[in-house]
Amino acid sequence: MSEEKKSLNFIEQIIEEDLANGLPKEKLRFRFPPEPNGYLHIGHAASICLNFGLGLKYNAPVNLRFDDTNPAKEEQEYVDAIKHDIEWLGFKWDKELYSSNYFQQLYDWTLALIKEGKAYVDNQSSEEMAIQKGTPTEVGTDSPNRNRSIEENLSLFLKMKNGEFEEGSHVLRAKIDMKHVNMHMRDPIMYRILKKEHHRTGTDWCIYPMYDWTHGESDYIEQVSHSICTLEFKSHRDLYDWYVEQVYDNSKLRPKQREFARRNLSYTVMSKRKLLQLVEEGVVSGWDDPRMPTISGLRRRGYTPMSIRNFSDISGISKRENVTDVALLEHCIKDDLNKTTPRVMAVLNPVKVVITNYPEGKEEFLDANYNDYEEGFGSRLVPFSREIYIEKEDFREEANKKFFRLKLGKEVRLKNAYIIKAESCKKDENGEVTEIHCTYDEDSKSGSGTEASKRKVKGTLHWVSISHAIKAEVRVYDRLFTDEAPDGHKDVDFKEFINPKSLQIINAFAEPSLKTAKVLDRVQFQRLGYFCVDKDSTSNKLVFNRTVPLRDSWAKQNK
Ligand code: ATP
Ligand code: MG
């Protein structure tokens, strides 16, 4: 095998094989088929990157097909959000399509199937049908309605369609084989009655086709060559093929369903049903809460499209169920933001520093690069004055040699500014330090070229000038769940594992250059992490979300 062949994933290998066996390259076509019953999550991103990635690789069209066959759960809001998320990830679909576009065609094909004796109306209760279905080890038994006449089936199905029956009273079933080893082939339901308004077809229909009957036929209509879905559909493949076979015309391409393992991520849940619960029960502020594993949540949190696409590439696709470490996702965003964000200063947990030998009332505007290591970021002026804030954690009265921050009698450099030395501190009645008195070395200004400016001191601290700083609300997030697999416990509800400390709100002080920051702007707060401006910001107060801290646990583990 050539190097290139080896690096193909198993779906690409299947495609290469089909091409080698005569499938013309122009016939390749893919689709991404979301059900508009919720927002897209990072698992969907795996499927999006896979399908659209194949489109790019083979220069083949990829349809966006909304799988909208259940009007009870589907909404236009979700359609719009899904389109926005895919565009944001940077992918372009060929056609925007809806399974509901095919309701008439599916209905017409169904009439033909009934006329061929391959489908029948069943009016038993769902319990009765479930019992007759058998088990994986026991064959099923035929429904007493299995042998209705074609005329009777046609007339009953028409009544179903015309709304003459109650919901749940009648279904249409394919007449396949109640003894089939594959339970999905034991006369599966093709249509059920749902007297619900559909977000696109309104009240035109009160019978709706089931997933299996819809999906393969939609692929066939669109001439999708490779229909890629997740593993739980593997056992549906026989049925997919059976349905396609019923309408197949041999001048056409026969779509092929192939399966890959779902993407699971540690410390979160990924099912839309569960995410909806979190939204509806107010556990989070909405589908785009920055703690959610949704694309919209990740975007609001500060993730870039590139980081999500890289994450999908690195984690690859698999034939077996597995869980991806969320630290890998965090690594991907850090890697991207490290190269792309300007570095600025903000203090989250402030303590006041007075520089006693700095003239009162004096201010300086220090030229500071947005990035000291890369070209092209430019610079801004950072105001300096006699009173500044530093982080409380950056000062100790006494500390051992490994503490490279500020301690009494020792020096540190203030980033982009001067070397200061701690002389004394004031404390409150609880012994908490409230004010630190320092002196500064006037000749040590960064970049001034003097001997003193080149003096090496261990430790550089970030800071802001108190009178110039702007107030900012900083939202610091932790994982939404305390358990690695919150929905992996048999007898415990996933919500039992919600982390009560997943959001911490901090009143911080930031350098004034941030005044003009816009929603979704991303920055590094030096020494603290990566942050992004939240949509809750107002002209009076900026709100920042912490995307990720600087520490990279994944890179450390995988060195
Ligand atoms: P959920 O269980 O989260 O509601 P779903 O499979 O019902 O997901 P759909 O809207 O039907 O969601 O999915 C659209 C496409 O995305 C399907 O092809 C599906 O297989 C794929 N997909 C959904 N979840 C994942 C996941 N976790 N990993 C990979 N692909 C996924
Ligand atoms: Mg689904």
Residue closest via CA to ligand 1's atom 1 equals: 271
Which tokens belong to 194? 């749902």
Which tokens belong to 122? 């069943």
- Does residue 455 share a domain with residue 337? no
**What is the distance in A from the centroid of ligand 1 to the CA of 32?**
10
Mutate to test the pocket of ligand 1, among 37, 44, 277 (most ligand atoms within 8 A of CB): 44
CA 202 vs. chain centroid, Å, equals 31
d(CA 405, CA 385): 20
**What is the distance in A from the centroid of ligand 1 to the CA of 15?**
22
- Cα 523 to Cα 377, 410, 457, 502, distances in angstroms: 12, 31, 27, 22
- Does residue 133 share a domain with residue 215? yes
- Does residue 443 share a domain with residue 299? no
- Does residue 132 share a domain with residue 152? yes
> What is the reported pTM?
0.94
Which of 411, 432, 462 marks a domain boundary? Answer: 462
pLDDT tens-digit readout, 192-223: 999 999 999 999 999 999 999 999 999 999 99
Residue from 148, 186, 200, 262 carrying the catalytic annotation: 262
Query: Is residue 419 included in any domain, yes or no?
Result: yes
Q: What is the CATH number of the domain that holds 506?
A: 2.40.240.10
User: Contact 287/275 with Cβ under 8 angstroms?
Assistant: yes
- Does residue 66 share a domain with residue 38? yes
Residue from 12, 35, 387, 484 carrying the catalytic annotation: 35
Question: Which amino acids bring their CB within 6 angstroms of ligand 1?
Answer: 33-35, 43-44, 46-47, 67, 229-230, 262-263, 270-272
- Does residue 354 share a domain with residue 337? no
Query: Is residue 254 included in any domain, yes or no?
Result: yes
Query: Is residue 518 included in any domain, yes or no?
Result: yes
**In the chain, count of helices (H) and strands (E)?**
14, 29
Query: Is residue 5 included in any domain, yes or no?
Result: no
pLDDT tens-digit readout, 129-162: 999 999 999 999 999 999 999 999 999 999 999 9
d(CA 27, CA 256): 12
Among 208, 214, 217, 210, residue whose Cα is nearest residue 245: 217
Query: Is residue 82 included in any domain, yes or no?
Result: yes
- Does residue 550 share a domain with residue 527? yes
Which of 260, 285, 320 marks a domain boundary? Answer: 260
**What is the distance in A from the centroid of ligand 1 to the CA of 44?**
5
- Does residue 248 share a domain with residue 151? yes
Residue closest via CA to ligand 1's atom 26 equals: 43
- Does residue 256 share a domain with residue 122? yes
Q: Which ligand is nearest to the CA of 271?
A: 1
User: Contact 531/334 with Cβ under 8 angstroms?
Assistant: no
Q: What is the CATH number of the domain that holds 153?
A: 3.40.50.620
Which tokens belong to 309? 């696409």
- Does residue 250 share a domain with residue 174? yes
Digit-by-digit pLDDT tens for the chain (559 residues) are 444 555 899 999 999 999 999 999 999 999 999 999 999 999 999 999 999 999 999 999 999 999 999 999 999 999 999 999 999 999 999 999 999 999 999 999 999 999 999 999 999 999 999 999 999 999 999 999 999 999 999 999 999 999 999 999 999 999 999 999 999 999 999 999 999 999 999 999 999 999 999 999 999 999 999 999 999 999 999 999 999 999 999 999 999 999 999 999 999 999 999 999 999 999 999 999 999 999 999 999 999 999 999 999 999 999 999 999 999 999 999 999 999 999 999 999 999 999 999 999 999 999 999 999 888 999 999 999 999 999 999 999 999 989 999 999 999 999 999 999 999 999 999 999 999 999 999 999 999 999 999 999 999 999 999 999 999 999 999 999 999 999 999 999 999 999 999 999 999 999 999 999 999 999 999 999 999 999 999 988 999 999 999 987 666 666 5
Query: Is residue 414 included in any domain, yes or no?
Result: yes
**Between vectors from CA 302 to CA 297 and to CA 307, what angle results, nearest 5°?**
95
Which tokens belong to 72? 């009870």
In the annotation, is 427 catalytic? no
Query: Is residue 321 included in any domain, yes or no?
Result: yes
Which of 439, 462, 485 marks a domain boundary? Answer: 462
User: Contact 535/289 with Cβ under 8 angstroms?
Assistant: no
Domain range for residue 294?
A: 272-342+472-557
Query: Is residue 37 included in any domain, yes or no?
Result: yes
- Does residue 244 share a domain with residue 229? yes
Q: Which ligand is nearest to the CA of 318?
A: 1
User: Contact 150/121 with Cβ under 8 angstroms?
Assistant: no
Number of folded domains that form the chain? 3
Reported in sequence order, the residue ranges of 10-76 that DSSP labels E, i.e. its strands, are 30-32, 62-66
In the annotation, is 262 catalytic? yes
Q: Which atom of ligand 1 is nearest to the CA of 48?
A: 16
pLDDT tens-digit readout, 229-256: 999 999 999 999 999 999 999 999 999 9
- Does residue 510 share a domain with residue 385? no
In the annotation, is 272 catalytic? yes
